[in-house]
A and B are shown apart, each in its own frame.
Chain A
């Protein structure tokens, strides 16, 4: 396996691990971490796809996409953390329960 193939494959491995963890674990913080690991995998794949192992300069467009993606991921993680904290404050639980009490909007 060449060095240039290592990064995309690592990215794909991170995506798979993250997606598995998102589906399997019920704890909300673990789901959030799983989303972040998946995001890291996608970003690593994109940076690797920028292609740079040779003499020519790397392509800057995927770098710009990754930066935007990181900003979006951070904002979404912040929102998710607030939601997890509120759910914990209201119910004392850190899992998503399926049944909800009779609610009026």
Chain B
């Protein structure tokens, strides 16, 4: 397990260098070419997603090692954890429709099992709900794959990327695949499974679920949107996604403001930030702003992954130290865990979108795209959503700085738990400084 944790980031770093130097990288499994063979492909976006998942996973693995010391079910955890990481890596490298289905299922099953690990009633109910939604989404996606194969005779993303004629079969395939992936990405109003699942899972699991697993199905939808279904996009579908995204931002932020548990607040914050992600579709509809919109959306994926993981790790440390996470009874805790609250604050600036964080760069690119296209209403939504995020982040932050003696902790805050959260929060801030390099990586492969 330790070897895998060290090797995988090294391999990802090597691959990033290779992709930057040589461009798009394809590999046929077993030497069989498409349309029958399964093809793996690494372009700039895939490599960047691999990189962010390696970064988040490595840091959270270190956190989980200390967090789970002494728990009985720890052997099950590590097996499922590595399984989840493997499924994510396979998903980002797939260039074949059915391979994407298999990796989506692997991801869903390992995520559900990890959510169910605490074996308390809330966790088991949340896991069951998550499993039912995940299976429905996968079956809808598979139906789309069946329709698309019947209409075109191939499963390879490369071969399908040519112009697909709009027939009832391909339009139905588009609708079903999009519906399935939206269910898995928890866009409003299909987000109902996410708050209980992410709030009741163990803290390292919640971190990785919010940071990476919901982004995986978003990544698949984005890739299909940009390559396979590009000629089938209608203004109606784009604006519908935009309306759902706006509702997600507003609803998630309002629910986060009124949550009384810290992890529930962070889970609803994920619902809101997923709304921001889906704004990539209406913002990239017109060609003038599309590159900025796509870069902004992907940048939001990366900075939200680091920031949300840091926030969930902080919440986990709070539970580890104090035994509960009711916000009303957490006043003054900055005295017991100053490093964690510093991490929470830094990650919060990225979630709100304040400079100089990665979240600011992402929102800046989004605002650029919206203003270039003349879609001023998205600007109102993005800035308003930032204000709401500020409200719920500061609500907890100010309570933790209250002028009280603070509560006596059950056990002292372990150094590793605090500093891993701070490390991820610093990554979210550091992403604000490396934007040109990231943009160069994203451009490899010519997807936009």
| Residue of B with least CB distance to A23 | B136
In the complex, are the beta carbons of B149 and A79 less than 8 A apart? no
* Chain A, 43-65, CB within 8 A of any chain B CB: 45-46, 49, 61-62, 65
* Chain B, 113-131, CB within 8 A of any chain A CB: 113, 116, 118-125, 127-129, 131
**Contact residues on B (Cβ < 8 Å of other chain), bracket:** 35 or more
- Interface segment, one of B195-203, B381-389, B390-398, B418-426: B195-203
The CA-CA distance from A65 to B150 in the complex, in Å, is 13
Shortest distance from the beta carbon of B170 to any chain A beta carbon, whole Å: 14
Known: A49-B150, A61-B36, A76-B105. Is A105-B203 also a contact (CB below 8 A)?
A: yes
In the complex, are the beta carbons of A72 and B150 less than 8 A apart? no
Shortest distance from the beta carbon of B307 to any chain A beta carbon, whole Å: 20
Shortest distance from the beta carbon of A55 to any chain B beta carbon, whole Å: 19
A2 adjacent to chain B (CB < 8 Å): no
Q: Mark A61-105, 1 if CB is under 8 A from B, else 0.
A: 110010011001101100110011011001100001100111111
Among A31, A76, A86, A104, the one with the most B-chain Cβ atoms within 10 Å of its Cβ is: A104
In the complex, are the beta carbons of B201 and A105 less than 8 A apart? yes
Known: A49-B150, A61-B149, A79-B112. Is A35-B132 also a contact (CB below 8 A)?
A: yes
In the complex, are the beta carbons of A96 and B125 less than 8 A apart? yes
The CA-CA distance from A75 to B146 in the complex, in Å, is 21
In the complex, are the beta carbons of B121 and A101 less than 8 A apart? yes
In the complex, are the beta carbons of A86 and B323 less than 8 A apart? no
In the complex, are the beta carbons of A105 and B319 less than 8 A apart? yes
In the complex, are the beta carbons of B139 and A35 less than 8 A apart? yes
**For A46, what are the chain B residues with a Cβ–Cβ distance below 8 Å?**
142, 146, 149
Among B127, B142, B147, B202, the one with the most A-chain Cβ atoms within 10 Å of its Cβ is: B142
The CA-CA distance from A91 to B119 in the complex, in Å, is 12
Interface of chain B, helix or strand or loop or mixed? helix
**Contact residues on A (Cβ < 8 Å of other chain), bracket:** 35 or more
| Residue of A with least CB distance to B135 | A35
**For B102, what are the chain A residues with a Cβ–Cβ distance below 8 Å?**
68, 72
| Residue of B with least CB distance to A90 | B121
**For B147, what are the chain A residues with a Cβ–Cβ distance below 8 Å?**
49
Interface of chain A, helix or strand or loop or mixed? helix
| Residue of B with least CB distance to A103 | B122
Shortest distance from the beta carbon of A3 to any chain B beta carbon, whole Å: 17
**For A75, what are the chain B residues with a Cβ–Cβ distance below 8 Å?**
109
**For A104, what are the chain B residues with a Cβ–Cβ distance below 8 Å?**
319, 323-325
**For B432, what are the chain A residues with a Cβ–Cβ distance below 8 Å?**
none
Shortest distance from the beta carbon of B278 to any chain A beta carbon, whole Å: 23
Shortest distance from the beta carbon of A86 to any chain B beta carbon, whole Å: 5
**For B297, what are the chain A residues with a Cβ–Cβ distance below 8 Å?**
none
The CA-CA distance from A97 to B316 in the complex, in Å, is 25
B304 adjacent to chain A (CB < 8 Å): no
The CA-CA distance from A81 to B248 in the complex, in Å, is 32
B337 adjacent to chain A (CB < 8 Å): no
Known: A42-B146, A49-B149. Is A76-B129 also a contact (CB below 8 A)?
A: no
Known: A76-B131, A79-B109, A105-B118. Is A45-B146 also a contact (CB below 8 A)?
A: yes
The CA-CA distance from A65 to B143 in the complex, in Å, is 11
Known: A61-B155, A76-B105. Is A22-B132 also a contact (CB below 8 A)?
A: yes
| Residue of A with least CB distance to B326 | A102
In the complex, are the beta carbons of A90 and B139 less than 8 A apart? no
Among B108, B138, B201, the one with the most A-chain Cβ atoms within 10 Å of its Cβ is: B138
Known: A62-B146, A72-B102, A75-B109. Is A100-B202 also a contact (CB below 8 A)?
A: no
**For A7, what are the chain B residues with a Cβ–Cβ distance below 8 Å?**
none
The CA-CA distance from A35 to B133 in the complex, in Å, is 10
In the complex, are the beta carbons of A62 and B109 less than 8 A apart? no
**For B325, what are the chain A residues with a Cβ–Cβ distance below 8 Å?**
104-105
B98 adjacent to chain A (CB < 8 Å): yes
The CA-CA distance from A5 to B136 in the complex, in Å, is 25
A83 touches which of B128, B142, B324 (Cβ 8 Å): B128
**For A65, what are the chain B residues with a Cβ–Cβ distance below 8 Å?**
98, 142, 145-146, 149
In the complex, are the beta carbons of A42 and B324 less than 8 A apart? no
- B interface residue numbers (CB < 8 A to A): 36, 98, 101-102, 105, 108-109, 112-113, 116, 118-125, 127-129, 131-132, 135-136, 138-139, 142-143, 145-147, 149-150, 155, 196, 200-203, 263, 316, 319, 323-326
Task: Give 8 new A-B contacts, CB below 8 A, not counting A39-B139, A46-B146, A103-B120.
Answer: A31-B132, A35-B132, A49-B149, A80-B128, A83-B131, A102-B326, A105-B200, A105-B316
- A interface residue numbers (CB < 8 A to B): 15, 19, 22, 28, 31, 35, 38-39, 42, 45-46, 49, 61-62, 65, 68-69, 72-73, 75-76, 79-80, 83-84, 86-87, 90-91, 96-97, 100-105
User: Can you list the 3 inter-chain pairs with the closest CB atoms, starting with the nearest?
Assistant: A100-B122, A49-B150, A103-B122
Q: Can you list 12 A-B pairs with a CB-CB distance of less than 8 A? A: A22-B132, A65-B98, A68-B102, A76-B105, A83-B131, A84-B128, A87-B121, A90-B121, A104-B319, A104-B323, A105-B118, A105-B263
